[in-house]
């Protein structure tokens, strides 16, 4: 990580179904492609992918776009995609954009 670059990581729970990806840090334009790649890889490996947002401190429209696109891609491929663990701060962003139905209570 270089100075001034927001922190973001995705941890993958290998070899499980459902396969869980835990996102940590700031999900923005700089990190959205990282998450998108991880989600696509996970969808190829498991019938169900769970995105855990408990460690996410920030999400912008780029991050929301990746999450929404994965929801569509999973539906088209016949796999399942679930979002869990959103903090109140992150949940509010989903609510403001009308995407709150993607997050499990």
All domains of the chain, ordered by start, with CATH? Answer: 27-102 (3.30.750.24)
Interval 35-67: pLDDT, tens: 999 999 999 888 999 999 999 999 999 999 999
> What pLDDT sits at residue 1?
46
Cβ atoms of 19 and 49 within 8 Å: the answer is: yes
> What pLDDT sits at residue 15?
72
List all residues 6 or more positions away from 24 whose beta carbon is below 8 Å from its beta carbon: 7, 8, 9, 10, 11, 55, 56
Global pTM? 0.91
User: Mean of the pLDDT values across residues 14-21?
Assistant: 85
């Amino acid at each position: 990580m270089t100075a001034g670059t927001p922190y973001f990581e995705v941890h993958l729970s290998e070899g499980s179904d459902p396969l869980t990806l835990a996102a940590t840090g700031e999900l923005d334009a700089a990190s959205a492609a990282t998450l998108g790649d991880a989600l696509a890889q996970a969808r190829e490996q498991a019938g169900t992918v769970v995105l855990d947002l408990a460690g996410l401190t920030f999400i912008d429209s780029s991050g929301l776009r990746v999450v929404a696109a994965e929801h569509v891609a999973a539906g088209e491929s016949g796999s399942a995609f679930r979002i869990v663990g959103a903090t109140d701060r992150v949940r509010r962003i989903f609510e403001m954009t009308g995407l709150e139905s993607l997050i499990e209570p």
